[in-house]
Amino acid sequence: MLYSKDILDDEHNTPLLRVENTKHKQLLDSQLWEAPSSHGLHPCVEPTSKYKAAPVLDRYMTVRSNGGLNQMRTGIADMVAVARIMNATLVIPQLDKSSFWQDSSTFSDIFDEVHFIKSLQQDVRILKELPKELESVPRARKHFTSWAGLSYYEETTELWKEYKVIHVAKSDSRLANNYLPLDIQRSSWSGCDHVQKRYIALHLRYEKDMLSFTGCTYGLSGAETEELRVMREKTSHWKIKNINSTEQRISGLCPLTPMEVGIFLQALGYPRSTLIYIAAGEIYGRERHLLELTSRVPNIVFKEMIATQEELRTFSHHASQTAALDYIISVESDIFIPSHSGNMAKAVEGHRRFLGHRKTITPDRKGLVELFDKLEAGVLDVSSFSGLVNQLHKNRFGAPRRRGAAPLGIKGRARSRLEESFYQNPYPECICRSESGMS
């Protein structure tokens, strides 16, 4: 188990990654916190000169959003663009109330409904409800193809010949990440966007459902491992039941453990006093596993520590509203670090890129696991480990870069699945170069 007692803090007798006599220890405080240079790039979602206001036609699209908060959020943004392509009036989407989250929140409980409708009025007409006279008419119930392009939706407009209302069964990943008209990309992003101490927002995805779903049990007890296996076996819509935890971890598919996150932060040079906000649900085995993080960086806060019980009572039993709080705090943080690349991590990273490439550190989990194991085996000393961690992440601080494509040789829908999400990185469509430009 990570990590050997030869790297203990002598004063507190707690595990602490020590960085002695290295250039890394000499890093200026500003270097730890400053955002990467934006090189003159800035947000741009204004329509082009060719863009026309949305037509008002007697066609309507109702939507049932699916998934957690950020999966629903990006799916709703997709639906804004789809409604624009299909010349449809979009009815405020219904949020997922029946999945794992079991949250009864409505759209207006989480999002600013009035702002959403008003800010997008040039892109698409949006109504709070379907007109009464259309509530009982037959609807075309459609499950749109994942990552579909412009031609797919142009062909789908044939449905308007028979129906006035199209009901969309799922909203997530209905739109391609690339090769869409510029104004369509910008309208979808617009749908997604609409004395202070420095702090890191850590999306610590070390939660029971994530560990069970991914089959990641490194560092867990036998009883915990069995509990996760049973949960996975009983969750019918999780298709993969037998998972090799070791293979998952080596492949970089597991969220970093609290201990690994603590060692990672120390290797980057952040001191024990660093303020860290935990943006997450309940940490699995909370006290025991959280101690593995707090023994290294003890200045940890949760929403329950910075808000009163009365303030939080409004959000009790509403997982999506609670997730919205974490989202806002993560977007506004000085630094955002996700321990796993899930929907929230991608959405927050994209939002922060749009707002000026705020510093986002995305751990190279596959590379880190290799270094963690070498450190534990004594193959690496602490000083070498720190240097290699920083070298591994020198280009993973959220600096401007074009959206990543799928690996070469991948075709069809598999290619779309492996492309970097538009909502994770809206460059170049919605981030522009200033007049000074990039060198």
- Return the SS3 of 64: strand
| pLDDT at residue 58 is higher than 80 | yes
Q: Mean pLDDT over residues 368-380, rounded?
A: 96
Over the stretch 222-245, which tens digit does the pLDDT of each residue have? 999 999 999 999 999 999 999 999
Q: What is the pLDDT of residue 99?
A: 67
Beta bridge mates, 203: 338
- Return the SS3 of 306: helix
Beta bridge mates, 140: 166
Q: Mean pLDDT over residues 332-342, rounded?
A: 96
CB crowding 393-405: b at 16 or more within 10 Å, else e:
beeebbbbeebee
Query: 0.75 exceeded by the pTM?
Result: no
162: its two tokens: 């028979």
303, 323 Cβ separation under 8 angstroms: no
Q: Which of 40-49, 334-343, 409-418 has the highest mean pLDDT?
A: 334-343
362: its two tokens: 């995305």
Over the stretch 60-106, which tens digit does the pLDDT of each residue have? 999 999 888 888 888 999 999 999 999 999 999 998 877 666 678 88
135: its two tokens: 């509530």
- Domain range annotation of the chain: 5-37+196-432, 60-193
